[in-house]
Amino acid sequence: MRLTEFTELTELEFGRRRADGLLKDLVLVELGSRTGLEAIDDGVDPKLVWRALCRELDVPAERW
């Protein structure tokens, strides 16, 4: 997944402001106790970050 697609999906699912906050503040144990932004900065595939966010926030699987 490209970063642009990741950004579009997070903004569509959570809204722009909430998506920004989630990526900066929500620590995801699944990603090594990093925020989504930290994980992406560390080179984690945005697709893995997207799925971790979806699981953590109970997004229905059909929207992953």
Q: Where are the domains of the chain?
A: 3-57
Q: Please list the ranges in the chain whose pLDDT falls under 70.
A: none
Alpha-carbon distance 16 to 21, whole Å? 9
**CA–CA dist 13, 57 (Å, integer):** 11
Q: What's the pLDDT at 20?
A: 95
Spatial neighbors of 37 by CB under 8 A, at least 6 apart, are 23, 24
For residues 41-50, one letter each, b for 16 or more C-beta atoms within 10 angstroms of the residue's C-beta and e for the rest, the string is eeebebebbb
Instruction: Give the separation between CA 19 and CA 10, rounded to whole angstroms.
Output: 6
Q: What is residue 34's predicted lDDT score, i.e. its pLDDT? A: 98
pLDDT at 4: 95
- Provide the whole-model pTM: 0.90
